[in-house]
Amino acid sequence: MNKTSANTAIRKAEMQDAAALKTCIERAYAPVRLKLSDLPDVSAGIEEDIAGNEVFIAETDGCTAGCAILSFDGSRAHLSNIAVDPDFKGQGIGTALIGAVEAAARAKEVLVIHLATHVSMPENVALYSRLGWLETQRTGNKVLMEKSL
């Protein structure tokens, strides 16, 4: 487990975490869903993600505070989802999850991590940029970003 604070730990998710992860993701995206009608079902397939990808869960005082989903394709990785429950925003959990994702990618000798965020979520672009990610393209409603490791 990676510690983010005295009360938060990050670990790899297990199948029994699926329901809590789905709730966390749905809560995290609820405010965004109100303004973005084209947002896909961001919590679908969590069981498949746990089985086939690296899924990280952040827990604070026994509660699911956030999660991140990372998939691999050779020397590349894709951060397909990162979510922080609104009750835990502003506590560094998103940054800690990104750190866990980057560490996992480095351990698999991945050279680049990619992600896509929504053009109407400039706070995401700002966070990723602060953490060293570069915007590579805007296409439709997507902002594509990457980070070399």
User: What residues contact 60, with CB distance under 8 A and at least 6 apart?
Assistant: 5, 7, 8, 88, 91, 93
Torsion of the alpha carbons at 39, 40, 42 and 45, rounded to the nearest 10: 180
**What is the fold, at CATH topology level, of the domain defined by 2-114?**
Aminopeptidase (3.40.630)
pLDDT at 3: 44
Both tokens assigned to 58: 């952040």
pLDDT in tens, 107-120: 999 999 999 998 88
Q: What is the mean pLDDT of residues 130-140?
A: 94
Q: What is the mean pLDDT of residues 36-53?
A: 83
- More confident of the two residues 85 and 118: 85
Q: What is the mean pLDDT of residues 81-93?
A: 92
φ/ψ of 4, rounded to 5, equals -105, -25
Cα 54 from Cα 68, distance rounded (Å): 8
Which percentage of the chain shows pLDDT scores above 70? 93
| pLDDT level of residue 39 (50, 70, 90 thresholds) | low
Among 21, 105, 104, which Cα is nearest to 58's?
A: 21
Cα 103 from Cα 97, distance rounded (Å): 10
pLDDT in tens, 7-20: 889 999 999 999 99
pLDDT of 41 above 80: no
Residue 13: CA count within 13 A, CB half-sphere: 32
Both tokens assigned to 138: 């805007």
**Strands in the chain per DSSP E:** 2-5, 8-12, 54-60, 63-73, 76-84, 112-118, 134-139, 142-148
Cα 106 from Cα 89, distance rounded (Å): 26
pLDDT at 5: 52
pLDDT in tens, 52-71: 999 999 999 889 999 999 99
Domain ranges of the chain: 2-114
Contact call for residues 70 and 35 (beta carbons, < 8 A): no
